A and B are shown apart, each in its own frame.
Chain A
Amino acid sequence: MKIHPAYEMLRPDKNFPNVWCPGCGHGIVQGAIIRAVQKLGLDRDEMAMVSGIGCSSRMPVYCDFNSLHTAHGRAIAFATGVKLHNPKLHVIVITGDGDALAIGGNHFIHAARRNVEMTVVLMNNMIYGMTGGQYSPTTPIGKRASTAPYGTAERDFDPCSLAKAAGAVFAARGTVYNAAELEKLITQALAKKGFALVEAVSPCPTLYGRLNREGNAVKMMQWQKENTVNVKAAEKLPPEKVRGKIVTGVFHDAETPGYTEIYDRVIAKARGA
């Protein structure tokens, strides 16, 4: 029997089948993360996967890393404590659009500002999956949700712009349709020494798809395929050609010392070095 290459990084005992619906994008994101970790040859004992609450945030339970499934919105705060206490750990934060940008928005921007070394994989399905399809800070204006039966009246956040403005060293977006690109972006993010965001556009056919009549999982994937533009191409296109499309790729890539590195200097100073 051939064993799936991701198998060694999973926890087969007790946790499968997972909570995700058939057709949910979150599992594809997990696959991309595992392949990125394998590609970089990172030691599982030195991986800390920290999440909040949501369908997306269930991922750490299935990964055979040091896993910490925290409270709604608080993953980044917990992850900050993990990283500061043990800077040797590679910290991956798994979060959703609601988890990271609504209830956890404050932690998101401040961890980016501090440039705490962590890779944040934000699974953006533009909805609250776990609680049944309420609108989130990334639900596009006018789209339907269980709490927006007439369409939302709110504008949406662009997580990548937000992270960049707040001080992150890396901000990129990929889709689950193009899992190879997503894997590449996560690999790049994991190699950064600072706050790195990868937004993974991940369809929720069960709620977002149904409420907005976007069809089943296959149709939503098809839509991703046909409506994705790479950032390089997008730069050359007139704005109206980009509107409503998913722009993927690296939006921001900088080198700034990470928080734990700077804090080591604080320790040296305090000790009179």
Chain B
Amino acid sequence: MSKQVALLQGNEACALGAIYAGCDFFGGYPITPSTEVAEEMALMLPRSGGKFIQMEDEIAGIGTVLGAAAAGAKAMTATSGPGFSLMMELLGYGCMAELPCVIVNVQRGGPSTGLPTKGAQADMLQARWGTHGDHQAIALCPSSIEECFTQTVKCFNLAERFRMPVLLMMDEFIGHMREKMTIPQPGELETYTHPRPKIKPAEYRHFGEGTGVGGAYAAMGSGYRFNITGLTHDPKGFPTNRADETKWKMDRLRAKVADHLPELTEVEREFMDDAEIVIFSYGAAARTAQQAVREARAQGVKAGLLRPTVVWPFPDQVVTEALRQARAMVVAELNQGQMILEVERANRTHTRVLPALRYDGEMITPAEVMNVIAEAAR
């Protein structure tokens, strides 16, 4: 087959990526600027025998996604700020019950109804800490249309492998931007589906040994009968409030991510070898940051770009190292300063960290980033 090149919007690319990854269930509720994801899924899913349902609200959207996931689906929902807020309780359910699914948040300005049609990156910490209780998060951030596709595939792979909800933190700019991309051929990108257990049903423990990262786990209705609950539970999935079992469960959830940090660290670098001023940026803002870095280089400033594509877990080690080598780090993001808090936490060397922020619904400009680079270089 010849390579298929298409002019796509980020939201469309995300939906196509989901289908590529084998997504067979979508449940959600329309909200700008994410709606095109749902519309595309409504069009494509029935063709491949999958199911699409528009629920009565976002709580039902994620609820139905988690139910489908429990029954063995590769399930997804897509939303934006207000809907993302509504999903918070059940996001935690997905973590506790270890249900793989993908949640797309095409971020818009907030708080509240905020700026429905304008972009922001202001839900970055909500993605990490929005649901109650200690928990881990895996979140990816695309900076291009192509990445909307490839990262959606990756989100599904990670969800299946880590057995938890994975977040794709898009933004309105990327969601509605149009770019040319080559659609990957089948088999070109890795698509991972978790193995199913082979042991006898009587021996199966839904949260037992070998069911963690990369492990085999069963779907409801597959002949393995087990219990799933949002209550703290033992390896069989039965509720418990025993201290030892609680600690076991909490440690298990933590270890899923904490013990796999190298696998979950993905950072793009540009001009980083000799960079003195490092620009840390992600998502749509990183497009501007990239341009600013190139312009700075053209002007003889040794600037470099550090762009995490996996934002949660935060790439601590990479950032700490970059800060150690740099004279200063500029954090460019579309909020009042969110991921910069993580950068500061990772700053073991008292390196200067400067914000380049924009939160008026408009895209940050290369000139604005350049100004901060100039200040950093001073």
Judged by a CB distance under 8 angstroms, whether B75 is at the interface is yes
Pick the contact of A88 from B55, B66, B221, B225 — CB < 8 Å?
B221
Binds A, one of B32-40, B43-51, B368-376: B43-51
Find chain B residues with CB under 8 A from A69 CB. 227-231, 239
Judged by a CB distance under 8 angstroms, whether B156 is at the interface is no
Which residue of chain B lies nearest to A268 when distances are taken between CB atoms in the complex? B46
Is the pair A46, B221 in contact by a Cβ cutoff of 8 Å? yes
Find chain A residues with CB under 8 A from B73 CB. 81, 85
Nearest-Cβ distance from residue B52 to partner chain A, whole angstroms = 9
**A63-80: which have CB < 8 Å to B?**
64-71, 74, 77-80
Dominant SS among interface residues on chain B:
mixed
Total A-B residue pairs with C-beta atoms closer than 8 Å?
140
Interface residues on A, range: 35 or more
Report the bound CA distance from A70 to B221 in whole Å: 17
Find chain A residues with CB under 8 A from B229 CB. 61, 68-69
Judged by a CB distance under 8 angstroms, whether A245 is at the interface is no
Report the bound CA distance from A67 to B220 in whole Å: 8
Find chain A residues with CB under 8 A from B59 CB. 74, 77
Pick the contact of A78 from B43, B53, B67, B226 — CB < 8 Å?
B67
Judged by a CB distance under 8 angstroms, whether A213 is at the interface is no
Judged by a CB distance under 8 angstroms, whether A25 is at the interface is no
Nearest-Cβ distance from residue A26 to partner chain B, whole angstroms = 16
Nearest-Cβ distance from residue B67 to partner chain A, whole angstroms = 3
Report the bound CA distance from A160 to B226 in whole Å: 32
**A42-66: which have CB < 8 Å to B?**
44-46, 48, 50, 53, 60-61, 64-66
Q: Which of A15, A65, A74, A77 has the most CB of B within 10 A?
A: A77
Pick the contact of B24 from A48, A85, A110, A269 — CB < 8 Å?
A85
Find chain B residues with CB under 8 A from A110 CB. 55-56, 60
**B214-252: which have CB < 8 Å to A?**
219-221, 223, 225-231, 234, 236, 238-239
Is the pair B60, A84 in contact by a Cβ cutoff of 8 Å? no
**B61-93: which have CB < 8 Å to A?**
63-73, 75, 89-90, 93
Which residue of chain A lies nearest to B61 when distances are taken between CB atoms in the complex? A77
Judged by a CB distance under 8 angstroms, whether B149 is at the interface is no
Pick the contact of B63 from A45, A60, A70, A85 — CB < 8 Å?
A70
Which residue of chain A lies nearest to B50 when distances are taken between CB atoms in the complex? A267
Nearest-Cβ distance from residue B50 to partner chain A, whole angstroms = 8
Judged by a CB distance under 8 angstroms, whether A271 is at the interface is yes
Is the pair A89, B63 in contact by a Cβ cutoff of 8 Å? no
Judged by a CB distance under 8 angstroms, whether A40 is at the interface is no
Nearest-Cβ distance from residue A168 to partner chain B, whole angstroms = 15
Find chain B residues with CB under 8 A from A271 CB. 46-47, 49
Report the bound CA distance from A270 to B41 in whole Å: 12
Is the pair B25, A84 in contact by a Cβ cutoff of 8 Å? yes
Is the pair B89, A71 in contact by a Cβ cutoff of 8 Å? yes
Report the bound CA distance from A69 to B27 in whole Å: 20
Find chain A residues with CB under 8 A from B295 CB. none
- Given the known interface contacts A80-B64, A82-B67, A85-B73, the answer about A263 and B51 at a Cβ–Cβ threshold of 8 Å is yes
Which residue of chain B lies nearest to A103 when distances are taken between CB atoms in the complex? B59
Is the pair A78, B51 in contact by a Cβ cutoff of 8 Å? no
Find chain A residues with CB under 8 A from B225 CB. 44-45, 64-67
Report the bound CA distance from A153 to B359 in whole Å: 46
Is the pair A70, B68 in contact by a Cβ cutoff of 8 Å? no
Report the bound CA distance from A70 to B226 in whole Å: 14
Find chain B residues with CB under 8 A from A107 CB. 56, 60, 63
Nearest-Cβ distance from residue B86 to partner chain A, whole angstroms = 11
Binary B-proximity of A95-109 (CB < 8 A = 1, otherwise 0): 000000000001100
Find chain B residues with CB under 8 A from A266 CB. 46
Judged by a CB distance under 8 angstroms, whether A86 is at the interface is yes
Nearest-Cβ distance from residue B249 to partner chain A, whole angstroms = 15
Is the pair A270, B230 in contact by a Cβ cutoff of 8 Å? no
Pick the contact of A84 from B68, B220, B226, B228 — CB < 8 Å?
B68
Is the pair B93, A70 in contact by a Cβ cutoff of 8 Å? yes
Find chain B residues with CB under 8 A from A11 CB. 227, 238
Find chain B residues with CB under 8 A from A48 CB. 71, 220-221
Find chain A residues with CB under 8 A from B65 CB. 81
Add 5 more A-B contacts to A68-B70, A82-B71, A270-B46 (CB < 8 A). Answer: A15-B238, A65-B225, A69-B227, A81-B73, A110-B60
Nearest 4 CB-CB pairs, A to B?
A: A81-B67, A77-B63, A78-B67, A270-B46
Can you list 20 A-B contacts (CB < 8 A)?
A11-B238, A13-B236, A44-B225, A67-B227, A68-B227, A69-B230, A78-B63, A78-B64, A78-B66, A78-B67, A80-B27, A81-B69, A82-B68, A82-B71, A85-B25, A85-B51, A85-B71, A86-B72, A86-B219, A107-B60
A residues lining the B interface (CB < 8 Å): 11, 13-15, 44-46, 48, 50, 53, 60-61, 64-71, 74, 77-82, 84-86, 88-89, 106-107, 110, 263, 266-267, 269-271
B residues lining the A interface (CB < 8 Å): 24-25, 27, 43, 46-47, 49, 51, 53, 55-57, 59-60, 63-73, 75, 89-90, 93, 219-221, 223, 225-231, 234, 236, 238-239
